[in-house]
Chains A and B, each alone.
Chain A
Amino acid sequence: MIYLFQLMNGIGLGMLYFLLAVGLSVIFGLLHFVNFAHGAFYLLGAYLCYALLQYGVGFWGALVLAAIIVAAIAAVVETGLLKRIYRLDHMYHIVATIGLALMIQEIVIIVWGPVGSSVPAPQALSGAIMLGNFIYPEYRLFVIGLTAVLAIVLWWVLEGTRLGAVVRAGSESTEMVSLLGYDINRINTAVFALGAGLAGLAGALAAPIRGVDPFMGVEALAVAFVVVVIGGMGSYTGALVAGLLVGIVQSLMTTIWPAGASLAIYIAMVLVVLVMPRGLLGRA
């Protein structure tokens, strides 16, 4: 029974990892841009959620606002700074976004202090319910439900709408998209903001589960990379499958071998890479 419980936890965790990684993956797919500040957006989302709750904003408002503010900040950063870096080598993408991530992390410490805090789950979801014959926290169930709905919406946006078609076309040929009359700069900004907003939302959703601390961004960045490496870069389904895989492995390991839970996901990654260097669903 404990395994079933941990499996549920793993799915919840995995869906958060998916939200985190899919933005990274889509940004790379369209912009060929390596964003080492992605974890910092997750960090920012978590702290904004924490701060908004402190100011008395309700949980729903905090969740939505945190994601929107992170997306807005990302849009400003993209327009003001990152746009000028795209043409450079990957090395400089990485240097600049490490710099950005450092700045965000230090600003978080200046504003909210170096010590972490816990974030209460919303009142309405603070209880637990009986699932068969075990008790499960309502909040975690809610996270699974919400992220599942988001995953479907996101899939529809990317696969079923005109915007999604333009984004996918842009990842094949930005020139062609420009020639067709779309403003590629605005699309770039929108996709970057969307990806960062999803990371921010993942952070906000994770806050009541794990609390907030200024160094959660680095941890999240590494996990997002593992998910992307396992799933295959630029692949939506890959991010989903790998996110769930990583979440479930980590969660089940917490029961089997607690000390090695984090270790396990990196071992899983190495195993996948050994067998399938391009990731589970990566394209050539």
Chain B
Amino acid sequence: MDKPLFHFALAVLVAVLLPFFIRSGTLATEVLIFAIAAAGCNLLLGYTGLLSFGQGIFFGLGSYTLGLMLIHTSLPLLPTLVLAMVVGCVVAIIIGALSIRRQGVYFVMLTLAFAQLFYFLAYTFSDITGGDNGLIGIPRRGIGPLALDSSWSFYGFVAVIFLISFAALQRIATSTFGRTLLAIRYNGQRAQAIGFPIRVFKIAAFAVSGAVTGLAGALHALLIGIAPLSDIDYHMSESLLVMTIIGGTGNLFGSVLGAAFYLIVSDTLSAIWPRWLLLLGALLIVLALYIQKGIWGLIERGVGAVLGRRGGPDAMAPDTAGNERP
């Protein structure tokens, strides 16, 4: 967090090295797409302390927006991506503004109920969304002379967007705005007492997170050529949260690790044993009890041990978990 250049370099390293470790261009692309979405989730959860089950809404809306635009209009690709971000952002502002009227667990439940509301909206209005089947046959348009039809050329395109998003999110997280979000997370009452309009800040965090997640959703629909109902499902919200928490909250690069871990492990395990979710469940319990800072926390601890127990500033940050308790 305090070494943005170093973390950005790590992100570049991941984007460059992934193709050497993963044979499937689709899986590699998926890792970067979900890394964007998980980083967007982290801005809410890790920086602002808002555990939102609504991330799937923005992801799904991004998918549908892009799908509808590419199927029904002749808009070029980039404007549709921007439109998906705008839709994600606007809906996130509305849901954020409504949800933060309640705090703690009530907030969590509200966002989950909103997630269900949007799922059933998509399910019910199947004329527009394709219902169970999803929006089928989304064309993958190129950008100007650049065709994106091979899986690795599309990977390159997504990698560029991933790096831009990562840099932008990191810029936001290290700015005064991001610091204020952290202050709200550590002690909301104090931040309010100092005079920060914490509601506005929380809604702004939602706006950014919604835009980024909408972008990721749009890329996902573009990748698989359909906007499936599962993109807006409750499980999407859950998976994004799980990736964020596995990676480590409060660190954007952690989200990249979390997304990579989740997707690669699920891809490998599900090929071996269809009931691998049983193992994921067990992992989540272990995570909650023993590895609360996720993979990034483990790495920091490991590096700290090697360097003679001098953890970085992140490792020294107080665990302020208890503050949100009512």
A23 to chain B, nearest CB (A): 15
> B287 to chain A: which residues have CB within 8 Å?
95, 99
The verdict on A68 contacting chain B, using a C-beta distance below 8 Å, is no
User: Contact: A92 with B292, CB < 8 Å?
Assistant: yes
Docked CA distance A220–B124 (Å): 19
A274 to B114, CA, bound (A): 13
Chain B residue nearest in CB terms to A98: B284
Number of A-B contacts (CB under 8 A): 127
Task: Report B320 CB to chain A, min CB distance, Å.
Answer: 9
Provide the residues of chain A in CB contact with B64, threshold 8 Å.
none
- B13: interface (CB < 8 Å): no
For window 27-41 of A, CB contacts with B under 8 Å fall at 28, 32, 34
CB-defined interface of B81-115 with A at 8 Å, one 1/0 digit per residue? Answer: 00000000000000000100110111011101110
Residues of A close to B249: CB separation below 8 A = 91
By a CB distance below 8 angstroms, the chain B residues around A110 are: 275, 278
Does B108 lie within 8 Å of A267, measured CB to CB?
Answer: no
Q: How many angstroms from the CA of A106 to the CA of B245 in the assembled complex?
A: 21
* Chain B residues closer than 8 Å to A267, beta-carbon distance: 117
Q: How far is the CA of A218 from the CA of B56 in the complex (A)?
A: 15
Chief secondary structure at chain A's binding surface: helix
Check: B282 CB closer than 8 A to any chain A CB. Answer: yes
CB within 8 A of B288: which of A95, A102, A218, A260?
A: A95
> Residues of B contacting A259 with CB < 8 Å?
124
- Shortest CB–CB separation between residue A253 and chain B, in angstroms? 11
Question: What is the bound-complex CA distance between A228 and B112, given in angstroms?
Answer: 12
Q: Roughly how many angstroms separate A274 CA and B113 CA in the complex, as a whole number? A: 13
Residues A277 and B124 in contact, CB atoms below 8 Å apart: no
Residues of A close to B112: CB separation below 8 A = 222, 225
Return chain B residues, CB-CB under 8 Å to A187: none
Q: Contacting B285 at CB < 8 Å: which of A28, A81, A109, A225?
A: A81
Known: A85-B288, A85-B289, A274-B98. A218 touches B234 (CB 8 A): yes
Kindly provide the distance from the CB of A39 to the nearest chain B CB, expressed in whole angstroms: 11
Q: Is residue B174 within 8 Å, beta carbon to beta carbon, of the partner chain? A: no
Q: Which residues of A contact B108 (CB under 8 A)?
A: 34, 90, 94
Q: Is A269 an interface residue (CB 8 A)?
A: yes
Instruction: Map CB proximity to B onto A249-264 as digits: 1 under 8 Å, 0 otherwise.
Output: 0000000000110110
User: Which of the residues B114, B123, B124, B285 comes within 8 Å of A99, measured between beta carbons?
Assistant: B285
Expressed in whole angstroms, the Cα–Cα distance for A165 and B167 within the complex equals 55
The answer to whether the Cβ of B9 comes within 8 Å of any Cβ in the partner chain is: no
State how many angstroms separate the Cβ of B99 from the closest Cβ of chain A: 9
Q: Count of chain B residues with Cβ under 8 Å from any Cβ of A?
A: 44
Closest-by-CB residue of A relative to B116 is A222
Answer whether residue A84 sits at the interface, using C-beta atoms and an 8 A cutoff: yes
Contact A90/B281 with A99-B288, A263-B117 known, Cβ cut-off 8 Å: no
Which residues of B226-242 are within 8 A (CB) of A?
234-235, 238, 242
Is A270 engaged at the interface, CB distance under 8 Å to the other chain? yes
- The answer on a CB contact under 8 Å between B117 and A90 is no
A176 within 8 A of B: no
B277: which A residues are within 8 A, CB to CB?
Answer: 102, 105-106
Contact call B275/A96, Cβ cutoff below 8 A? no
Question: Which residue on chain A has the smallest CB distance to residue B276?
Answer: A106
Alpha-carbon distance between A114 and B12 when the two chains are bound, in angstroms: 41
Q: Tell me if A131 counts as interface (CB < 8 A to partner B).
A: no
User: How far is B36's CA from A271's CA once the two chains are assembled, in angstroms?
Assistant: 33
The distance in angstroms between the C-alpha atoms of A94 and B237, with both chains bound, is 13
Q: Indicate if the CB atoms of A91 and B113 lie closer than 8 Å.
A: no
Known: A94-B108, A103-B282, A260-B124. A266 touches B113 (CB 8 A): yes
**Segment 75-114 of A: residues with Cβ below 8 Å from B:** 81, 84-85, 88-96, 98-103, 105-107, 109-110
Q: Does A199 contact B (CB under 8 A)?
A: no
A102 — nearest CB in chain B belongs to which residue? B281
Would you mind naming 19 contact pairs between A and B with Cβ atoms under 8 Å apart? A84-B289, A88-B288, A89-B325, A91-B245, A92-B321, A95-B242, A95-B287, A98-B238, A260-B120, A260-B124, A263-B117, A263-B124, A266-B117, A269-B117, A270-B114, A273-B98, A273-B102, A274-B98, A278-B102
The 3 closest A-B pairs by CB, nearest first: A99-B284, A102-B281, A89-B321
Known contacts A34-B108, A91-B249; 10 additional CB pairs below 8 A are: A32-B326, A84-B289, A85-B289, A89-B324, A96-B289, A99-B280, A99-B285, A106-B281, A109-B275, A273-B110
